């Protein structure tokens, strides 16, 4: 291989590290493509679905940033089928849900059955309300508090479609300085070129929130899907860029003065007055497949029959995380800064934590897959019947730290076998084994889904994995001073899950059991600790949907039991939605009602912004608080809109504060509204 090739790729990737440059370059490309769309458009071949990653299992237990609700609003009569480059032979089946469950749930932490707990303001750090098995492949920095807001190449959707697809939504949060903009665009061009664009922008600068909680997030994803004329080659070029800027309050020291109408969130006193977090994550990826055998394609461009594929996935990713507090006061009215940091205040002149990561990842695979024929009179692409894949993955990580740089390398063997001969049976398996710096780390998982006809569906899943500590669990330094460098043992995590779902009654029950040896957590001092005894976690979640005429009641309940007091998550969390759904004047679909969340009093985790970790704490108990939202949603043709009142209990005279995280309160009663358009033309 030419010696200049890696260097040129590396230099090109370094260019994309610049969020300022990359965002604007790709926006210019997008604008050009939109302008030229009318001239370049043409009928082209269509591809083929998503499963889990080119062995990274794109939907890990941490949850997708993009929920199914983001896609459910697309009418399948228009032939729009999202899929992911990790497995282009598997697509999402979409339906027309009119006013779906997520339209008025604009916050990504609430676009799921069970919420992620956050710091009260939209866009803040979060963690799942239920304990979940992590998915570890190679190096994990351990900074996941903003995952739901970020795009990555694995989460960037492509579309099989017949016409151009545009989906735009805008949320106004009571003030002009608080808004959320989302835009998706996809279309086919001539010569087998397909374009996908995904853009998110979040600004939270208003006075509805507590001091020192400003948020600004920007995410941009651009994907090009390239097919040759014979349909034997597929290439997917993806760029994703994320920039997150946040002020850090450290939580509320003194609640707002006054009550009722005279209460103002801005009158609260917070622990930190000059702390900020900056997190940037950019990636450039290219995934390609070459069919070794030529098979016939049908009118949709799918390829019924068995295919043998050579695959390659290459990614260059740049991560930068920075926290800084320029003046952590030790005297005067802001002296709480020093008492808040305690042992982390190594320099009264200022605190700084910086961690940079650059990763070059290459995966080579050999696979065979079989697809059936198109269904629904040719309106649906072919189903994937089976997939057998073996791969070798190599990662190089360059870490930049205040105390010096280091290089780490990982080599993994991977394999996957999926089998779905008919809609009633689906079997999926996955395995990987570490061979280099993390030699011995492994993961084995398997799931089975079995249709029981009129009796519903049963599925079971088992996961066994051994993984090394994250980088943040291993070492941490502040202002060039090392605070810890641990030698923790690897964690052995076993998960068993069984699910029963009855579609007619819309009832489901999920029972999960975790057994974790050498569990690592962050203690009350904010430092990593390892549990010497096994941790067992039993979970049961129940959900149902009851309907009487135009009135609906949806319920979801999560129960968790922990054998040790080292997990600061609620033992009971329930969600209830009571609403009316119907059609007015023959053209207006409406949905209006109440959303209620209930968590009994418990000791929640505390978020320490300096390390970006959720840790145990002993001095704060979150009281029981009925979080009630009132909403109204409507749809006319392709236009949708909603209005909602969050924390409506404040209207009933409840002046208590709602907490999901220790010391971080949610704002009082707030009015929000949003609109969404969808175009297929």
Ordered by start, the domain boundaries in the chain are: 4-680
The 3 state secondary structure assigned to 497-560 is EEEEEECCCCEEEEEEEEEEECCEEECCCCCEEECCCCEEEEEEEEEEEEEECCEEEEEEEEEE
Give the pLDDT confidence score for residue 678 in this predicted structure: 74
Kindly state the average pLDDT of the residues 504-508: 88
Range 4-680 classified under CATH 3.40.50.300 = no
- Better-predicted residue by pLDDT, 405 or 31: 405
Q: How far apart are CA 544 and CA 503, in angstroms?
A: 10
Residue 530 clears pLDDT 90, i.e. is over it? yes
Residue 604 clears pLDDT 90, i.e. is over it? yes
Contact (CB, 8 A) for 556 and 575: yes
Which residues are CB-neighbours of 30 under 8 A, at least 6 positions away? 185, 197, 222
Give the pLDDT confidence score for residue 207 in this predicted structure: 74
Kindly state the average pLDDT of the residues 153-171: 88
Per-residue model confidence as pLDDT tens digits over 617-641: 998 999 999 999 999 999 988 788 9
Confidence of residue 643 (pLDDT cuts 50, 70, 90): very high
Confidence of residue 265 (pLDDT cuts 50, 70, 90): confident
Nearest to 319 by CA among 394, 398, 247: 398
Contact (CB, 8 A) for 400 and 413: no
Kindly state the average pLDDT of the residues 290-302: 66
Give the pLDDT confidence score for residue 652 in this predicted structure: 66
Kindly state the average pLDDT of the residues 584-595: 92
Tell me the average pLDDT of the chain: 83
Residue with tokens 């997150």: 244
Rg (CA), the chain: 25
* DSSP tag of 4: H
Residue 151 clears pLDDT 50, i.e. is over it? yes
- Better-predicted residue by pLDDT, 163 or 6: 163
- Better-predicted residue by pLDDT, 382 or 447: 447
Confidence of residue 264 (pLDDT cuts 50, 70, 90): confident
For residue 427, report the phi and psi dihedrals to the nearest 5 degrees. Answer: -125, 130
Give the pLDDT confidence score for residue 649 in this predicted structure: 79
Give the pLDDT confidence score for residue 329 in this predicted structure: 60
What is the value of pTM for the model shown?
Answer: 0.85
Long-range pairs for 367-371: beta carbons < 8 A, 24 or more residues apart: 367/308, 367/309, 367/311, 368/306, 368/307, 368/308, 368/309, 369/89, 369/306, 369/307, 369/309, 370/305, 370/306, 370/307, 371/48, 371/89, 371/302, 371/303, 371/304, 371/305, 371/307
Find which of 47-61, 63-77, 355-369, 370-384 is predicted with most confidence, using mean pLDDT.
355-369
Give the pLDDT confidence score for residue 52 in this predicted structure: 34
Give the pLDDT confidence score for residue 280 in this predicted structure: 96
Find which of 61-70, 173-182, 376-385, 599-608 is predicted with most confidence, using mean pLDDT.
599-608
Residue 386 clears pLDDT 70, i.e. is over it? yes
């Amino acid at each position: 291989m030419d010696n200049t090739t890696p260097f040129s790729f590396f230099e090109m990737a370094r260019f994309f590290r610049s969020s300022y440059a990359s965002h604007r370059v790709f926006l210019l490309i997008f604008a050009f493509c939109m302008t030229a769309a009318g001239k370049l458009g043409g009928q082209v071949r269509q591809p083929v679905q998503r499963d889990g990653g080119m062995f990274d299992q794109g939907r890990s237990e941490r949850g997708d940033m993009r929920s199914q609700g983001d896609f459910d609003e697309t009418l399948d009569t228009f032939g729009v089928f999202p899929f992911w480059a990790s497995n282009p032979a598997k697509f999402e089946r979409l339906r027309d849900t009119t006013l779906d469950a997520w339209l008025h749930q604009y916050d990504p932490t609430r676009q799921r059955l069970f919420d992620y707990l956050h710091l009260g303001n939209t866009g803040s750090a979060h963690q799942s309300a239920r304990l979940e098995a992590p998915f570890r492949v190679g190096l994990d920095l351990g900074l996941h508090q903003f995952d739901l807001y970020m795009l990555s190449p694995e989460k960037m959707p492509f579309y099989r479609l017949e016409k151009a697809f545009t989906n735009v939504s805008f949320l106004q949060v009571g003030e002009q300085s608080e808004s959320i903009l989302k835009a998706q665009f996809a279309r086919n061009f001539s010569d087998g070129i397909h374009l996908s664009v995904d853009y998110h922008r979040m600004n939270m600068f208003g006075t509805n929130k507590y001091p020192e909680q400003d948020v600004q997030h920007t995410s941009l994803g651009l994907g090009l899907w390239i097919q040759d004329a014979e349909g034997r080659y597929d290439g997917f070029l993806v760029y994703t860029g994320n920039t997150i800027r946040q002020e850090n309050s450290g939580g509320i020291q003194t609640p707002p003065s006054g009550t009722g109408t005279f209460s103002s969130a801005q009158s609260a006193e917070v622990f930190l007055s000059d702390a900020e977090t900056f997190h940037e994550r950019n990636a450039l990826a290219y995934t390609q497949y070459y069919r070794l055998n030529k098979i016939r394609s049908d009118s949709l461009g799918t390829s019924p029959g068995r295919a043998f594929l050579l695959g390659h996935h290459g990614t260059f990713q740049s991560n930068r995380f920075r926290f800084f507090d320029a003046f952590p006061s030790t005297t005067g009215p802001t002296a709480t800064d020093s008492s808040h940091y305690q042992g982390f205040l190594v320099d009264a002149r200022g605190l700084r934590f910086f961690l940079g990561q650059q990763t070059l990842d290459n995966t080579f695979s050999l696979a065979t897959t079989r697809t059936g024929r198109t269904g629904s009179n040719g309106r649906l692409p072919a189903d994937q019947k089976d997939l057998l894949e073996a791969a070798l993955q190599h990662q190089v990580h360059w870490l930049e730290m205040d105390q010096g740089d280091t290089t780490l390398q990982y080599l993994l063997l991977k394999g996957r076998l999926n089998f779905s001969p008919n809609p009633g049976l689906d079997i999926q398996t996955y395995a990987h084994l570490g061979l280099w710096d993390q030699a011995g780390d492994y993961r084995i998982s398997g799931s089975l889904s079995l249709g029981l006809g009129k009796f519903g569906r049963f599925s079971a899943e088992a996961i066994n994995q051994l993984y090394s500590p994250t980088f943040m669990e291993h070492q941490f330094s502040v202002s060039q001073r090392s605070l810890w460098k641990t030698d923790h043992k690897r964690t052995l995590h076993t998960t068993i899950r069984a699910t029963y779902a009855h579609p007619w009654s819309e009832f489901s029950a999920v029972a999960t059991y975790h057994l974790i040896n050498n569990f690592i957590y962050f203690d009350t001092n904010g430092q990593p600790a390892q549990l010497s005894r096994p941790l067992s976690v039993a979970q049961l979640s129940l959900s149902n949907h009851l309907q009487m005429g135009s009135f609906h009641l949806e319920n979801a309940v999560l129960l968790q039991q922990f054998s040790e007091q080292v997990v600061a998550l609620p033992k009971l969390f329930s969600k209830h939605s009571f609403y009316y759904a119907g059609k007015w004047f023959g053209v207006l679909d409406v949905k209006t009602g109440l959303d209620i969340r209930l968590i009994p009093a418990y000791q929640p985790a505390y978020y320490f912004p300096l390390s970006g970790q959720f840790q145990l704490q002993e001095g704060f108990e979150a009281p029981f608080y009925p979080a009630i939202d009132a909403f109204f949603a409507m749809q006319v043709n392709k236009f949708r809109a909603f209005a909602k009142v969050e924390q409506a209990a404040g209207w009933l005279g409840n002046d208590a504060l709602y907490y999901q995280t220790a010391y971080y309160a949610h704002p009082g009663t707030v009015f929000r509204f949003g609109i969404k358009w969808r175009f297929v033309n």
